[in-house]
Structure 1
């Protein structure tokens, strides 16, 4: 998989990173960090007809690294393509709308690696989240390959600001796809 931006090299062999939402009035903004190092900044316009998020190399947001965009306009089960800055496809993900009614479920796909499924870890927390909108409950997603092998996990820390710990368990998973999926879990989860 090509990476003209050098993001994967900058990211290194880290199998753990954090996604932190920054509070802004008109946009959702996210920082992706490995330890204390900022590796990407994402920004999402609110109320867009076609969801699109671009991840940049720095806070000035001058150098795009990769991003994701919905294939269609306002679709509850839309597929999102993750592309590198040069437009090459990194992978895709989609929400399984029917299965997500009681327990959120996502499908993540990468060429040459295959598809994996991510689900909320706890059925109880999933149900409680749907009944309680005003209190932010932590939620956790585990992604596994078709053979049951763990691929990645996303754990939301308890608190009022959205903060996620992400662990990549499959070294073949493109870190750009992992970062995009982790941001999407916050940016798109309630849609």
Structure 2
């Protein structure tokens, strides 16, 4: 496994072989001496970066996700690299509530338009044609506007829940959908089981026209990461040609993010496997010191699928 280092002189990033662990090397660009961390230093850094009460399911660098099909709710099983199930994730669809919201939309729309038609019919002889036209227009426009408000009010938010197993006995993490309607931006809040804020994710639909991006923030609102499609050329081809039976499947690169500068070092990748079923690999091996909270990383992985409606 390679060791990721960064030159303090010029900021260049390198991946070195394991044989350089604990040694000093010279940067080929600026000749600055780089101290390569040894395994003991990395293990100590990992211990400092991970919470003491972190569930064992999150104490790893690789997560395998498989979406369960033939189910009303969106469900995922998460495996370790040995194939053992370590987590169960569910995003309820709320089918009944959505049906009620749709019926509410139709009922209000029919009521408003029908009421305007009935009013025109009742006052047919007393009203001039111009007044009838105004009543009809107000009935239609008002019906549409009021119906949309009713639909939004009745529509449920679709939160995401992480459990230790499929019996849902222990909830380990929760992702809240902040807004019911997401026209231009989408934001999600990640919470621990006790309700403590862990971080947030945001995407802008305008930016996603050419290349999909997700932005991550910590609990204080500081930017921490950016997840981008692996290639601008491939992202344009995906929009023109579609997934091409999985040959142009969407993969993401996860990097450190500074809004005032270019994307930082690579933290990991989220790749869709070339299979008929929806299977994904979240690989964070590049983040050897685990500066990225694995709970936030896995939350991002799920959002890169369900949040993109893949």
- TM superposition score category, shorter chain reference: 0.7 to 0.9
SS of the equivalent of 2:303 reads: helix
Work out whether residues 90 and 174 of structure 1, in 8 Å CA contact, stay in contact via their aligned partners in 2: no
SS of the equivalent of 1:179 reads: helix
Is residue 122 of structure 1 aligned with residue 238 of structure 2?
no
Is residue 64 of structure 1 aligned with residue 171 of structure 2?
yes
Instruction: Name which of structure 1's ranges 79-88 and 44-53 shifts more when overlaid on structure 2.
Output: 44-53
Structure 1 CA distance for aligned equivalents of residues 243 and 192 of structure 2: 35
Q: Which has the higher strand share?
A: 1
The verdict on how the C-alpha distance between 1:25 and 1:97 changes in structure 2, with shifts beyond 3 A counting, is same
Is residue 45 of structure 1 aligned with residue 45 of structure 2?
no
Structure 2 CA distance for aligned equivalents of residues 43 and 134 of structure 1: 28
Work out whether residues 42 and 56 of structure 1, in 8 Å CA contact, stay in contact via their aligned partners in 2: yes
| Equivalent residues in 2 for 1:74-85, closer than 5 Å | 74-76=181-183, 77-85=185-193
Structure 1 residues 1-41: Cα deviation after superposition (integer angstroms, max 9, x where no partner): 7675x42x3432x2111111111330111111112222211
Structure 2 CA distance for aligned equivalents of residues 67 and 94 of structure 1: 16
Count of aligned positions: 188
Point out which structure has higher relative CO (alpha carbons under 8 A, 6+ apart): 1
Is residue 135 of structure 1 aligned with residue 242 of structure 2?
no
Is residue 188 of structure 1 aligned with residue 188 of structure 2?
no
Instruction: Name which of structure 1's ranges 52-61 and 33-42 shifts more when overlaid on structure 2.
Output: 33-42
Instruction: Name which of structure 1's ranges 123-132 and 50-59 shifts more when overlaid on structure 2.
Output: 123-132
With the length of structure 2 as denominator, give the TM-score of the two structures: 0.55
Work out whether residues 22 and 30 of structure 1, in 8 Å CA contact, stay in contact via their aligned partners in 2: yes
Structure 2 CA distance for aligned equivalents of residues 54 and 85 of structure 1: 10
Structure 2 CA distance for aligned equivalents of residues 49 and 127 of structure 1: 33
Work out whether residues 57 and 87 of structure 2, in 8 Å CA contact, stay in contact via their aligned partners in 1: no
Name the counterpart of 2:77.
Answer: 31
| CA-atom RMSD in angstroms | 2.4
The verdict on how the C-alpha distance between 1:86 and 1:2 changes in structure 2, with shifts beyond 3 A counting, is farther
With the length of structure 1 as denominator, give the TM-score of the two structures: 0.87
SS of the equivalent of 1:78 reads: strand
Structure 2 CA distance for aligned equivalents of residues 101 and 45 of structure 1: 28
Is residue 156 of structure 1 aligned with residue 272 of structure 2?
yes
> 1:133: Cα distance to partner?
6.2
Structure 2 CA distance for aligned equivalents of residues 29 and 179 of structure 1: 14
Q: Unmatched 5+ residue regions in structure 2?
A: 1-49, 99-154
Structure 1 CA distance for aligned equivalents of residues 79 and 166 of structure 2: 12
Structure 1 CA distance for aligned equivalents of residues 58 and 299 of structure 2: 14
Work out whether residues 243 and 249 of structure 2, in 8 Å CA contact, stay in contact via their aligned partners in 1: no
SS of the equivalent of 1:161 reads: coil
